Structure 1
Amino acid sequence: MKLAEICEELTYTCLQGEMEKEISDIIYDSRKVEKDTIFVCMVGAVVDGHDFVEDAVKKGAAALVVEHAVEIDIPENCTVLQVEDARYALAIMSAAFFGHPDRELTTIGLTGTKGKTTTTYMIKSVLEEAGKKVGLIGTIGALIGEEKLPAKNTTPESYELHKMFRAMVDAGCEYVVMEVSSQGLKMHRVAGIVFDYGIFTNLSPDHIGPNEHASFEEYQECKSLLFRQCKEGIVNADDEHVDGIIKNHTCKLHTFSCKKDADLMAGAVGYLDEEGQIGMHFTTTGCMNVYAVVHIPGSFSVYNSLVTMLTCHLAGISDEAILRGLDKVKVRGRVELVPVSKDFTVIIDYAHNEVSTRSVLTTLKEYHPKRLICVYGGGGNRSKLRRYDMGEVTGELADLSVLTCDNPRDEEIRDINNDIKIGLAKSNGKYIEIDDRKAAIKYCIENAKKGDMIVLLGKGHEDYQEIKGVKYHFDEREAIAEVKKELNL
């Protein structure tokens, strides 16, 4: 593709060189520069791409994108473009380089503090129930149909994002559902994309610190940017920060609520608990008047369901497909129910710190289990404070903790669990220790009583254990299946 075409929608000043040259790729890591590529000099928190211009030129870069002049001689045959913001430029150029694939997809972007991952999977489930092929991008990685791709960030860098979009279009996807993080918005990773649907779930203080957001106000402001680059905005009317989120919005707004008048409202909310399956049921009024069931426990599931229902309704999906998709949805590693017995419930969740663990256990206690049993360990080479906190909260909320292996890395399992026991002692929590995680799971299932809930914490979507520098395959779903077979369940 010619440089002029790549820069067609970009505002720039050409400091030297010509625009009709052919470009083979766009690069923002100087180590990957090859002949006939563009090198975009992005300024990061630690590294400034302008410091690597000389290296890029030696490797044959056909063009440079800079924010300011550089103090080296650049060959005349190398085009130099000056822009106000190189990160923004990368996004606009990447979209053009891959043929604007976002414009060939129905794009659904979610922002918020909690619930993004779960809700993207819920929307994906409903759309697939309606016969649509859907791509997904978020914390757990990226899915193109059933193909899974790893992702470094919740919202990938713009080049990788448009490359994924192109792969999705080529694979026949009609929709993409993605998490849009505050960092992704702040760092222009989604610049230039006009989302068909922008969604706000909720907002609470998070990601505030030297390398993320300077203040809660900046965090909120970054989240609000989504509603200046989408056509239809879907927002939680019950969230106390919603007015700040929609300030200066440029989209058509739609609201959902459990407490006040909105475009879609939930009522008659109840807890579903039958034959080892738990979840929520509720009715809706407004643009949909239906009775809905979702097999994800907790009142937050009602909000996530409302997001899903309103978005898919606006996208033209039938009520029947929406209700079927909700009923079937399962989010890997996020309060994931694993069928084992009608007498007790087994759940897998990624919670691995005090806040997320408290949230999960508090949610499960709303179902009044006979016993709440937690199977967990702690990550090696990580803060001991997290272990103390995990021990204290499980000791407070669970009837029994089964301490086992998580990702011990370079530490000994017993040392990690000894730290957890310090926290358990603060809340007088009962515990046993079984170092082998599968054996721990088997012990709990073999000794479960009617009405028990067994929750496996910390691994979630992971399918490995990291021990002494080696990653060993370990998937809790497979372990549970093996235990069921061994116990003839």
Structure 2
Amino acid sequence: MKLLDLLNGVNYEVLNGNLDIDVSHIQYDSRKIGEGDIFVCLTGFEVDGHNYATKAIEAGAKVILCEKDINITNEDITVVLVREGRKALATMSANYYGHPAEKLKLIGVTGTNGKTTTVYLLKSMLEKAGKKVGLVGTIANYIGDLKVKSERTTPESLELQKLFKDMVDANCEYCVMEVSSHSLYLDRVYGCEFEVGIFTNLTRDHLDFHKSFENYYNAKFKLFERSKACVINIDDDYGYRIVRDIESIGNKEVKTYSIKDESDFKASEVMLKEGDIHFKVNGDNYNSVLPGEYNVYNALGAIGAMNLLDIDNEFVKKGLLDVVVPGRCERIGYKYDIPYDIIIDFAHTPDGLKNILETLKDYTKNRLIAVYGCGGDRDKVKRSELGRIGTELADLAVITSDNPREEDPMAIIKEILSGISKSNYIAIENRAEAIKLALNMAEEGDVVVLAGKGHENYQITNEGVIHFDEREVVDEILADKRKK
């Protein structure tokens, strides 16, 4: 592709060389450079791409795009200066792949909790309506039925545009996607226009990155600046603020949803049962296989979006009844000949843990046992909150390790314990041993919830990424028990 065409829409200055050249591919990782590529120097939080420009040239790069002068005078190398490298990367990626996002109807979901479940609900509803759907999310990416590995909740703009291109080539009409606060702040979705943006909630998370709730909120709000229509949970305090801030922009259709406050899509007569939920919205009956009040909220967000997109309510209802979300209130106990239940859930924030424990407590016949920890190298304040919430809601909390990263696992556990005022807990660093203890203690009618890992099949430690799948751990523990 001609460099001039690639730079269309980018504000730039040429520091060296000329623009009348062909570019093979775009790269922001110097290790992936091939002959004739453009290397985009991104200034990261740990690594500065400008330090790898020489390495990229040695590997065959013919164009360097930078945010500061890197003093390259080789006449065979073109050096282009931009003010915001990530926005330039997003614009060039869209140019390179032929603006695929413009050929898809994008539905974005942002919020602290509920993003994953909501996009799976959206995909299910749209597919019931006969639409071919792509999905971008935490657990995996999908191009129709084809599952593609996900490295992060929202990919970097280069990979995201490639994913959009693959969806278009596969004749997808819609793309439903989790839009993380990181991706909004780091301009991974810069230039993308969404048909509908959905807000789930805003609770404590990622403050290690954003530093303040105000920054966190401002990052989330970017989605609604880029959405034609918005669906907002106004039972969340930040939901009202989003509605007010959207109104100040103007020229957007806004729908609200709730269980408590008056809204466009208000759930009433909510009945929480062991395996599902029943509720009404504007006089119409709905039933979802996903249990818990928080899943009523997830359903409402999806219902509101489908209404804006004129998807028939028949397909919305069918989608609610036929959806599986891996690692989200995933029941695995039924597979074993045991008198208690085992649930795997991704809950790793105070609000997420509260939601899953309150939901499970409603139908636990005997004791609720919670196994959980807290990630390392992340916001430390929530650790004590997790300790308090787990011991207040569960009959027994087994505090353990969960992606400690570079931190000492026991130091993290001690910070979790600092929020506990009760005595109904046990602390065990080794997560497999913690699960084993919980299962050995489980009695008839108990529910054991393994919280924090969800779909993850790994632990991140100071030794790197180690394979750890809780389903396999449970299989092994129960197989050993049967042998005895």
Q: Which TM-score band applies after superposition, normalised by the shorter structure?
A: 0.7 to 0.9
Q: Distance in 2 between matches of 1:217 and 1:78?
A: 42
Q: More deviation in 85-94 or 106-115? A: 106-115
- Specify the alignment match of 1:137 in structure 2: 136
Q: Distance in 2 between matches of 1:331 and 1:321?
A: 18
Q: Secondary structure at the match of 1:22?
A: coil
Inter-CA distance 49–255: structure 2 relative to 1 (3 Å threshold): same
Q: Secondary structure at the match of 1:331?
A: coil
Deviations, residues 168-209 of structure 1 (Å, cap 9, x unaligned): 223343221111122211211111111121111222343334
User: Could you tell me whether the CA contact under 8 Å between 1:404 and 1:436 is conserved in 2?
Assistant: no
Q: Distance in 1 between matches of 2:472 and 2:121?
A: 20
Inter-CA distance 146–441: structure 2 relative to 1 (3 Å threshold): farther
Q: CA RMSD, aligned part only?
A: 3.9
- Specify the alignment match of 1:39 in structure 2: 39
TM-superposed CA distance for 1:117, in Å, is 1.6
- In structure 2, what residue type is equivalent to 1:360? I
TM-superposed CA distance for 1:358, in Å, is 3.6
- Specify the alignment match of 2:331 in structure 1: 337
User: Could you tell me whether the CA contact under 8 Å between 1:394 and 1:429 is conserved in 2?
Assistant: no
Q: Secondary structure at the match of 1:197?
A: strand
Q: Secondary structure at the match of 1:428?
A: coil
Q: Distance in 2 between matches of 1:72 and 1:481?
A: 58
Structure 1 position 229 matched with structure 2 position 223: no
Normalising by structure 2, report the TM-score: 0.83
Structure 1 position 346 matched with structure 2 position 347: no
Q: Secondary structure at the match of 1:19?
A: coil
- In structure 2, what residue type is equivalent to 1:103? E
TM-superposed CA distance for 1:344, in Å, is 5.7
- Specify the alignment match of 1:117 in structure 2: 116
- Specify the alignment match of 2:215 in structure 1: 218
Deviations, residues 126-184 of structure 1 (Å, cap 9, x unaligned): 22233333222223342334444444432221111111212222334322111112221
TM-superposed CA distance for 1:45, in Å, is 2.7
Q: More deviation in 43-52 or 383-392? A: 383-392
Q: Distance in 1 between matches of 2:21 and 2:136?
A: 33
Normalising by structure 1, report the TM-score: 0.82
TM-superposed CA distance for 1:36, in Å, is 0.6
User: Could you tell me whether the CA contact under 8 Å between 2:432 and 2:473 is conserved in 1?
Assistant: no
Q: Distance in 2 between matches of 1:373 and 1:126?
A: 34
TM-superposed CA distance for 1:307, in Å, is 0.6
Structure 1 position 362 matched with structure 2 position 358: yes
Q: Distance in 2 between matches of 1:218 and 1:469?
A: 30
Query: What is the 5 A alignment of 1:63-78?
Result: 63-73=63-73, 75-78=74-77
Structure 1 position 280 matched with structure 2 position 277: yes
1:461 to 435, 442, 455: 455
TM-superposed CA distance for 1:26, in Å, is 0.5
Q: Distance in 2 between matches of 1:409 and 1:183?
A: 19
- Specify the alignment match of 2:54 in structure 1: 54
Q: Distance in 2 between matches of 1:202 and 1:353?
A: 12
Deviations, residues 230-262 of structure 1 (Å, cap 9, x unaligned): 222222233322353224255322222323443
Inter-CA distance 44–384: structure 2 relative to 1 (3 Å threshold): closer
Q: Secondary structure at the match of 2:65?
A: strand
- In structure 1, what residue type is equivalent to 2:137? G
TM-superposed CA distance for 1:224, in Å, is 1.6
- In structure 2, what residue type is equivalent to 1:87? R
TM-superposed CA distance for 1:93, in Å, is 0.2
- In structure 1, what residue type is equivalent to 2:280? T
2:290 to 293, 296, 302: 296
Structure 1 position 372 matched with structure 2 position 371: no
Where do 5+ consecutive residues of structure 2 fail to align?
Answer: none
Q: Distance in 2 between matches of 1:324 and 1:392?
A: 39
User: Could you tell me whether the CA contact under 8 Å between 1:404 and 1:440 is conserved in 2?
Assistant: no
- Specify the alignment match of 1:242 in structure 2: 239
- In structure 2, what residue type is equivalent to 1:365? K
Q: Secondary structure at the match of 1:270?
A: strand
- Specify the alignment match of 2:24 in structure 1: 24
- Specify the alignment match of 2:179 in structure 1: 180
Query: What is the 5 A alignment of 1:417-428?
Result: 426-428=421-423
TM-superposed CA distance for 1:96, in Å, is 1.2
Q: Distance in 1 between matches of 2:416 and 2:234?
A: 42
TM-superposed CA distance for 1:323, in Å, is 0.8
Q: Distance in 2 between matches of 1:293 and 1:19?
A: 58
Q: Distance in 1 between matches of 2:465 and 2:211?
A: 37
Q: Distance in 2 between matches of 1:381 and 1:218?
A: 19
Q: Distance in 2 between matches of 1:72 and 1:438?
A: 57
Inter-CA distance 25–131: structure 2 relative to 1 (3 Å threshold): same
- Specify the alignment match of 2:9 in structure 1: 9
What is the count of residue pairs matched by the alignment?
A: 474
- In structure 2, what residue type is equivalent to 1:223? K
User: Could you tell me whether the CA contact under 8 Å between 1:228 and 1:249 is conserved in 2?
Assistant: no
Q: Secondary structure at the match of 1:347?
A: strand
Structure 1 position 193 matched with structure 2 position 192: yes
User: Could you tell me whether the CA contact under 8 Å between 1:405 and 1:436 is conserved in 2?
Assistant: no
- Specify the alignment match of 2:263 in structure 1: 262
Q: Secondary structure at the match of 1:325?
A: helix
Q: More deviation in 114-123 or 389-398? A: 389-398
TM-superposed CA distance for 1:105, in Å, is 1.7
Inter-CA distance 42–336: structure 2 relative to 1 (3 Å threshold): same
- Specify the alignment match of 1:476 in structure 2: 471
- Specify the alignment match of 1:397 in structure 2: 393
- In structure 1, what residue type is equivalent to 2:48? D
TM-superposed CA distance for 1:429, in Å, is 1.3
TM-superposed CA distance for 1:54, in Å, is 3.1
- Specify the alignment match of 1:154 in structure 2: 153
User: Could you tell me whether the CA contact under 8 Å between 2:384 and 2:420 is conserved in 1?
Assistant: no
User: Could you tell me whether the CA contact under 8 Å between 2:204 and 2:350 is conserved in 1?
Assistant: no
Structure 1 position 127 matched with structure 2 position 108: no
Query: What is the 5 A alignment of 1:99-110?
Result: 99-110=98-109
Identical-residue share of aligned pairs (%): 40
Inter-CA distance 53–405: structure 2 relative to 1 (3 Å threshold): closer
Q: More deviation in 52-61 or 117-126? A: 52-61
Inter-CA distance 408–232: structure 2 relative to 1 (3 Å threshold): closer
